[in-house]
Amino acid sequence: MDRERAAQMRPEDGKMNTRGRRGFLKGSAAAMAALWAHNSGVLSALAEPETKPRPNIVLILSDDVGYGDLGCYGARLPRTPHIDGLAQKGRRFTDAHSDSSVCTPSRYAILSGMYAWRRRDAQILPGDAALLFADRQVTLPRLLQQAGYATGCVGKWHLGLGRGAIDWNGEIEPGPREVGFDESFILPATADRVPCVYVENGRVVGLDPKDPIHVSYKKLVGDDPTGSDAPYLLKMKLSEGHDGTIVDGVSRIGFMSGGKKARWVDEEMAATLAGKATAFIDKHHAQPFFLYLATSDIHVPRMPNGKFADHSRCGVRCDVIEQLDWTVGQVLDTLERHKLMENTLVLFTSDNGPVVDDGYADGSVENLNGHTPSGKLRGGKYSLYEGGTRVPFIAYWKGQIPAGVSSAVLSQTDMLATLAAVAGVDVPHATDFDSQNLRAVLMGVSEQGRTTLVEADAVQRTAIREGRWKLLDLTRPGSATQGKRELYDLEADPGETRDVAAENPAVAERLMALLNRIRARNN
Ligand SMILES: [Ca+2]
């Protein structure tokens, strides 16, 4: 009551003050109680700024990091002290999910607050695809931007750019800016896709106009060697695909020519992105800011800096996990230096589950040394099993989120509504979104996560979670033939080893009907 009374008496709010004074003048407990009851909603809303400071938000989205890849999730070999420290001081979630087991849809869901499988076009995109977002679409960064946050996007984008037929030599729009980011420094798609250049605020960085860039995903452009015709030039051999243009000794998906001086150096990418992220914090430390840092680590090609190469105990894949941990450390050090920890919500997660051989013969398979990227879960990247979408998820806000472990179910799709609530921003037509406001769960005051959750795989097949049960519908969208359905009891069998659909037909039917209802919701 003392805190509320203090809020009620704040001099800067005349309306509150009048009410407060009247209450105190009457002096009766009953009158006060009635007043509080009558005005409780208004009073608590107005008290909000004092009791709940509007924090900065740093969302670190790593790439292809599995449920079992970090020390705090049970990994023994890769050393991840910064991420583990975050988990130890903050809240570690054991049943948090990406929207999809592949990255484009997963990222779309975070920024849009919508299940990406509702859109057939929200699948793994080529590097010259059009932007997935519509003009003026409500997005997480736009909501925060409108609330006065400085918004920045650093790292992997992979959500399309332009409206088709991008001219890489001019202004590249629409892009992150039109989605709600004031500033951006991005890889257009992925590190294994052309064009292998950074784009800063809509322009290719370091482009020489005399050496224009051309990109195609359909036919060879220019005369750069490719992985298929000049494999002897590769510093990393292929295991599958990735036989397009060779850039920096690594052949990629797709073809590009030109932009020689603008091409990135893989081994410097982690430091480049960390530098851009920390510069954004330096620039905006005095105002509320939202930083979306989407690391390229630990996606292929795994090309660690010399500081990390051959440094881990489980091959190059673990080298880049340790490099990722260094990046997290850089961000945390910068926040510390500006004394922002008490006023910053730091989130760390991954866009989908792990993969060991993802097209390059980089020794990851041979050197695992017993490391299990999915932990005890079945499947990984691309998969509909838990290893595909159950990902590390850590929330740290010094002094605000109690340290601990939560088994509440949450989805990255919930970030839009949840972070809007953290920032005190209204989501217009909030019920139109798949995103749920799980602020209380994130803040550690509730264990009531989602009651239902839909997971999706690389070809947009979907599964539904409800409590202990998970039903997988293995029918491919658009396919005329119905696929198999599998049911797992995740409480008894978290590794999804035994399909119990035949033993629990009523549960399977009920969940199938529920999944169909959620799919049919016309968002
Ligand atoms: Ca990914």
Q: What is the 3-state secondary structure (H, E, C) of 349-395?
A: EECCCCCCCCCEECCCCCCCCCCCCCCCCCCCCCCCCHHHHECCEEE
From the CB of residue 120, how many other CB atoms can be counted at a distance below 10 Å? 9
Per-residue pLDDT at 27? 34
Q: How far, in Å, is the centroid of ligand 1 from the Cα of 199?
A: 20
CA 71-73-74 angle, to 5 degrees, is 65
> The tokens 């030599």 sit on which residue?
169
Q: How far, in Å, is the centroid of ligand 1 from the Cα of 338?
A: 31
Alpha carbons 26 and 44: distance in angstroms, whole number:
21
Burial class (CB in 10 A: 0-12, 13-18, 19+), 324: buried
Stated as kind and residue range, the H or E segment containing 489 is strand 485-489
Q: Which is nearest to 281 in space by CA: 205, 336, 221?
A: 336
φ, ψ for residue 384, nearest 5 deg: -95, -10
Q: How far, in Å, is the centroid of ligand 1 from the Cα of 374?
A: 14
CB 77 within 8 A of CB 371: yes
Per-residue pLDDT at 520? 93
Alpha carbons 295 and 60: distance in angstroms, whole number:
7
Q: pTM of this prediction? A: 0.90
CB 112 within 8 A of CB 100: no
Q: Is the peptide bond before 195 cis (omega within 30 degrees of 0)?
A: yes
Q: Spell out which residues have Cβ within 5 A of ligand 1, the ion.
A: 63-64, 103, 351-352
From the CB of residue 146, how many other CB atoms can be counted at a distance below 10 Å? 13
Q: How far, in Å, is the centroid of ligand 1 from the Cα of 133?
A: 19
CB 423 within 8 A of CB 415: no
> DSSP secondary-structure letter at 182?
S
| Exposure of 325 in the CB half-sphere (CA atoms within 13 A) | 23
CB 387 within 8 A of CB 379: yes
In which residue ranges of the chain is pLDDT below 50?
1-51, 523
> DSSP secondary-structure letter at 129?
P
Q: How far, in Å, is the centroid of ligand 1 from the Cα of 157?
A: 11
Q: How far, in Å, is the centroid of ligand 1 from the Cα of 62?
A: 8
Q: How far, in Å, is the centroid of ligand 1 from the Cα of 445?
A: 31
Per-residue pLDDT at 52? 56
Q: How far, in Å, is the centroid of ligand 1 from the Cα of 354?
A: 8
Per-residue pLDDT at 446? 97
CB 55 within 8 A of CB 343: yes
Q: How far, in Å, is the centroid of ligand 1 from the Cα of 12?
A: 48
Alpha carbons 144 and 291: distance in angstroms, whole number:
11
φ, ψ for residue 508, nearest 5 deg: -60, -45
Per-residue pLDDT at 53? 62
- Work out whether strand 469-473 and strand 452-456 pair parallel, antiparallel, or are unpaired: unpaired
Query: What separation, in Å, do the N-terminal and C-terminal C-alpha atoms of the chain show?
Result: 42
CB 245 within 8 A of CB 256: yes
From the CB of residue 497, how many other CB atoms can be counted at a distance below 10 Å? 8
Alpha carbons 173 and 181: distance in angstroms, whole number:
13
Q: How far, in Å, is the centroid of ligand 1 from the Cα of 335?
A: 26
Token code pair at residue 295: 């690391």
What is each CA distance from 86 to 16, 76, 227, 271, 407, in whole angstroms? 39, 17, 40, 20, 17
Find residue 406's DSSP bridge partners. 93
- Domains along the sequence of the chain with CATH: 2-51 (no CATH), 56-205+265-442 (3.40.720.10), 461-520 (3.30.1120.10)
Distance of CA 226 to the CA centre of its chain: 32
Alpha carbons 295 and 473: distance in angstroms, whole number:
32
